[in-house]
Amino acid sequence: MTSPDYYFTIEKPSVAEFKDRGSRFIGYAFPIESVSDFKERLAEIKKEHPKATHHCFAYRVGLDGNTFRVADDGEPSGSAGRPILGQIDSKQLVNVLVIVVRYFGGTLLGVPGLINAYKNAA
């Protein structure tokens, strides 16, 4: 099987916000072309939101889609990075990074609540 002559990505950075029981989830999507692009963007977001509780992310780079990474950044394992990557994959996107910044609102959401929140923010 050969790879297609086209791929899907995003044209420009975008931001969205989702709130659940006091917690704020701010989703950032960036077009990226390399792992070093990812590192730059993550550093920018961490600098922009130094007081945030978590900076969770997922990315998929390369036309073969084999270069990817997820991180829960202190959230329970599998509750943040995987749902974010799931949203990227559901749109069949490559060369994209999604970072979701969480400001904790005082109420624990539980793993299903976190999965839902990170998915919606992404």
pTM: 0.95
Task: Kindly report, residue by residue over 30-88, the tens digit of the pLDDT.
Answer: 999 999 999 999 999 999 999 999 999 999 999 888 999 999 999 999 999 999 999 99
Q: Which amino acid is at 50?
A: P
- Of the candidates 71, 109, 116, 65, which has an alpha carbon nearest to the alpha carbon of residue 88? 65
Round to whole Å and give the CA distance between 79 and 114: 6
pLDDT of 28 strictly over 70: yes
Enter the tokens of residue 66: 């084999």
CATH number belonging to the domain at 14-121, selected among 3.30.230.30, 3.40.190.10, 3.50.50.60, 3.40.30.10: 3.30.230.30
